[in-house]
Structure 1
Amino acid sequence: MSVVADAVVAGKFLDPQALGHLRAAIRQPAYPVQASRIGVVHFGPGAFHRAHQAWCFDDILARDFDWAVSAVSLKTSAVHDALEPQHGLYCVAVQDEPRQLRVIGALRELIVAPQDPARVLSRLTSKHTRLVTLTVTEAGYCLGADGRLDLNHPDIRRDLAQPDAPTSAVGYLVEALRRRRAESIKPFTTISCDSLPDNGRRLMRAAVDLAMAQRQHDLARWIVGEAAFPCSAVDCIVPPTDDALRQQVAQTLGCRDRWPVQRESYAQWVIEDRFCNRVPDWASVGVTVTRDVAAVDRMKVRVLYAAQTAIAYLGLACGHATVADAMADAPLAALVERLLRRDVLPVLNVPRELGADAYVTATLKRLRNPAIRHDLNDLARDGSLHVSTRLIATLADRLAQGEAVDRLCLPIAAWLDYLRREARDGRAIVDPLTESLTESARNCVGNAASDLPEFLALDAIFPLWLSSNPRFVEPLTRAYDRIASVGEPNAAKVHAALAGMA
């Protein structure tokens, strides 16, 4: 039996003593972990944080020891219970070619807030804490339908009743900022890393709303004037941890990790240039600082998400099952690349520092990754939302500039034919507009003259200015007739049908 197998069978777990016995190919912290100092408090140390932001802080610590992380769980003790015996160490498996394994040492402290709220507040009030980051999901912000703090949320009601013993993330932020102000300590910069629009400003408004509701008007003004809540955007595919990953990590590592995580090699973190305290050297670890974070969301929607939508419908028409399968289809992959570079990029309008052309290159590489499974049937759901935001928005810009939209009409036509086939075969259409789409699709027979009026009458998707524009309707008609003529999914027939249009 090998040394690796011996260790695994013996049930040894990852800890600081194990680091000296790992294979040279396994990347370890490039700094003495015990010498690092906590400068970051992070709320919500789930898999995404550990695979993404903590990875960045681990890189930063190799250059500057002041940015270790205190990881705070607001609800459950699961992460604490798994990683505390490992002194915060855990593995990240990079599921790409070549596959890599890395041990992260950035989490120097793990706290379960309901069990030790005083410790959380002490860490937040420390003058060494200059940065607070959050991945608590949209629900963790306790916002109402209007985007403002929901004062009737159970956690917020408790924070109003006992401001010095907070429950919510917003409650902890406000109480910590109150204490820092009282002790003449500069505020920390707070960075939301959750995927909600205008995340930094929403979080700041929530903090101000809570301070005002607590009748701390001076504190509210101080937060607005002195604290910083930059918007940010993050992107990295982090599949859930499963037994196969645990086994893969154990065999490679030579010991067990109670909670490894996995990710793709690509990662993006963009932060608004708005800070109130010392921050790390973001650029040294590939984090982009910009004044226009909204442009990142626009780029993601119109490049990555648009490509996924195009691949979903055209890929299903070809008979493929996953994104990687579809991107291994050379003619289809070439069509997607032309759509992004020739149709999307010219009207994208994002700042130069975001590197739109490089982003397209990275996106195409990500989509080809066979280690990350994206099921096309899953991506095909909710098409009315996706086509409108990901494709029609770009199409509208091109029409406004007098440009052709033939290529952009191909995935839209493929979506409409997908709806026709789903209704014909009796499968449920999963979409916010299920009833109207199903009714229209059931009346379709497979030719544009009969079918397109059914769909184009749906003004929630195709507003009148678009459905009555011949510069859109004519190429959509040609695309639909060609795709519908294929009949059952068949890659060769789709390639032939689209020849000259792609």
Structure 2
Amino acid sequence: MRSRREGPDVTAGAPLRLSAATARRLAGQVEPAPFDPRELTTGIVHLGIGAFHRAHQAVYTQDAMAATGDSGWGVLGATQRSRGVVDQLVPQQGLYGVLTKDAAASSLRLVGVHTGVAFPRDETPRVVAAIAAPSTHVVTLTVTEKGYRLAPGGGPDLTDPDLAADLATLGSGDDAPARTPLGLLFLGLAARHRGDAGPLSVVSCDNLASNGHVLAALVARTLDAGGRSDLASWVATSVTFPATMVDRIVPATTPEHRAEALALLGLRDEGLVVAEPFGQWVLEDAFAGPRPVWERAGATFTGDVEPFERAKLRILNAVHSTLAYRGALRGLTTIADAVADPDLLAASRALVDQDVLPTLEAVPGVDLAQYRDSVLARMANPATGHTTVQVASDGSVKLPQRLLGTVRDRLAVGAVPHAASATIAAWIAYVRSVTAGSLVLDGRVVTLDDPRADVLAAAAAGPVDGLADRFLRLSDVFGDLGGSRELRDAVAAGLRDLGVR
């Protein structure tokens, strides 16, 4: 008879797939999930069940439940653009592995907090019903910056056809599938209001400054614009939007990662995600009702997330973008390659020391210089595999969040942000090179992945003279910063330093 510690049988053909049944025969080197997800009660609905959520909030939630034995915080996850995660996790009863890697070692643990995964195009009513259920107390989101459909100035982009369609559905009572995460949330809120299911906490976990407050204003303004002032009034009194700051590097899962996990697990895991050892979650203590005791899993609750968030956005995320653009321009494939380049390491340190740190207030319990060093050390971890092109995507959305606040603060005190301007120049040079078809990495021509790709391509075309001006005049990216002669001169100097022709 085979003991549980000997692991599962693997036939001469394809190995057995991870599931609730096969997981009972795990080898001892894998940390099992403490719960069978089929026995959990759904207390959380998560919108945007990608790799980051599965390696971050889901792990915190499992650890919080394990610390207390409370099985009432199972998660129903909703996908966004495809049913890929449904196909990965549903046959595995929601179980998947998190492969944690650094330069020296790997470990694997199983996570089993998802009571289901739904594809809204086919299952919008299922997600709406879960949000409206009295047993659900929290909705969390990881839908990326693009998922919020923000217009210039921060309000809802009511010209977005998908958001407009969702608003029409909300007004008509039609049961058409939700096209956007916000539309799915609105339908759920409306159903919860009709059913008098009690208060709800909606928790954004995306890299947006003041993400909870932005989402609260976005919901209110969108509902008002859609003629649903009744629902907006209920949301104002019954729904809270705690701000958060999240941090964990979660690279794309590769065939090599899957082979490593198979060797550890002895089972084929189609839902595998990969992460660095580090993780951080800071939450505003502003919940409308019950919540998991995430602090038992290492999360920080505070009355003000902004100092933590600003430090992370302006140090980690801005350095990430700096290394991505400058690294790609040097032909470097990964962020680890980029930070190993002495010139790019010096540029990253200069950005933080010269421009970012002077704009930051003290963060409780955090030494910002040590935080800078830890960020650079984490980015040097080759096991994360973050590519420069991956991080370089969506620059027109990311840079306003990560870098332009630093630029504004420096200009406001009469300082020219030379290091930050060099990062803007690197972005412009990257866009120019990519749209010209001249950037090749690993034998592949890089294409521009950005929601404003056409506008950026037009600004990048033409002579180098005036290139900085053409980009800085993009008011939906730079706002009023285009009027700063000091910034224009500094960005133009950065382009010359990069040899842009």
Residue 246 of structure 2 corresponds to residue 234 of structure 1: yes
Out of 168, 193, 196, the residue aligned to residue 178 of structure 1 is: 193
Deviations for 1:251-301, whole angstroms, at most 9, x for unmatched residues?
221011232222333334333332110222233323333444455554344
Q: What do the CA deviations read for 1:338-374 (whole angstroms, capped 9, x no partner)? A: 5424542232236436664454233212210212334
Which residue of the partner structure matches residue 270 of structure 1? 282
The one-letter code of the counterpart of 1:177 is: R
**Aligned partners of 1:13, 1:6: CA distance in 2, in Å?**
11
The residue number in structure 2 matching 1:93 is: 99
31-40 or 229-238, which deviates more: 31-40
* Percentage of matched positions with identical amino acids: 31
Q: Residue in 1 aligned with 2:443?
A: none
Deviation track 1:318-354 (CA, whole Å, cap 9, x = no partner) reads: 7754321232245653553354245422322364366
One-letter identity of the residue aligned with 2:91: P
> Partner amino acid for 2:239?
A
Residue number among 16, 24, 34 corresponding to 1:12 in the alignment: 16
Structure possessing the higher radius of gyration over alpha carbons: 1
**2:111 corresponds to which residue?**
104
Distance 1:180 1:316, change over 3 A: closer
Alignment partner of 1:147 is 2:161: no
Runs of at least 5 residues in structure 1 that lack an aligned partner in the other structure: 444-452, 488-502
SS in 2 for 1:280: coil
Is the counterpart of residue 169 in structure 1 residue 184 in structure 2?
Answer: yes
Report the CA distance shift for 1:289/1:5 in structure 2 as closer, same or farther (over 3 A).
closer
C-alpha distance in 1 between matches for 2:112 and 2:288: 27
TM-align CA RMSD = 4.7
The residue that corresponds to 2:203 in the other structure is 191
- Residues 266 and 362 in structure 1, CA contact (< 8 A), matched pair in contact too: no
**Alpha-carbon distance, 1:84 to partner:** 2.7
Alpha-carbon distance, 1:104 to partner:
0.2
Shift of 1:399: 6.2
Which of the residues 62, 70, 91 maps onto 1:58? 62
- 1:201 deviates by 4.2
1:324 and 2:333 correspond: no
Pairwise mapping of residues 185-334 of structure 1 onto structure 2 (< 5 A)? 185-196=197-208, 198-205=210-217, 207-208=219-220, 217-296=229-308, 298-312=310-324, 315=327, 320-330=332-342, 332-333=344-345
Which residue is equivalent to 1:497?
none
Which range moves more in the overlay, 154-163 or 351-360? 351-360
Q: Where does residue 27 of structure 1 map in the other structure?
A: 31
TM-score (norm 1): 0.73
Instruction: Quickly say closer, same or farther: Cα 1:309–1:245, change in 2 above 3 A.
Output: closer
Q: 1:404 to 1:27 in 2, by over 3 A?
A: same
Amino acid corresponding to residue 345 of structure 1 in structure 2: L
CA–CA distance in structure 2, aligned partners of residues 401 and 318 of structure 1: 33
Q: Which letter does structure 2 place at the counterpart of 1:62?
A: A
Distance, in Å, in 2 between the alignment partners of 1:222 and 1:290 is 26
- How many residues are treated as equivalent by the alignment? 467
Q: Deviations over 1:20-69 (max 9, x none)?
A: 43233312224565664432122332333222221111111111313221
SS at match of 1:352: coil
**Cα distance in structure 2, aligned partners of 1:321 and 1:29:** 35
Change (3 A) 1:102 1:218: same
The secondary structure found in structure 2 opposite 1:16 is coil
CA distance in 2, matches of 1:419, 1:172: 38
Structure 2 CA distance for aligned equivalents of residues 429 and 111 of structure 1 = 31
5+ unaligned residues in a row in structure 2: which ranges? 1-5, 440-445
Shift of 1:454: 7.9
Tell me whether 1:38 sits opposite 2:42 in the alignment: yes
1:449 aligned residue: none
2 CA distance for matches of 1:388 and 1:117? 33
How far off is 1:178 after superposition?
Answer: 1.4
Counterpart code for 2:364 = R
CA 1:361–1:62 in 2, change beyond 3 Å: closer, same or farther?
farther
State the AA in 2 paired with 1:467. E
Residue 70 of structure 1: aligned partner: 76
User: Which residue of the partner structure matches residue 80 of structure 1?
Assistant: 86
What is the aligned partner in structure 2 of residue 467 from structure 1? Answer: 486
Find the aligned partners of 2:83 and 2:425 in 1 and give their Cα distance: 49
Q: Distance in 2 between matches of 1:186 and 1:76?
A: 31
Distance change in 2, residues 1:323/1:80 (3 Å): closer
Query: Residue 374 of structure 2 aligns to a residue in which SS?
Result: helix
Match of 1:362 among 374, 379, 386: 374
Q: Distance in 1 between matches of 2:419 and 2:146?
A: 38
Give TM-score, length-normalised by structure 2.
0.73
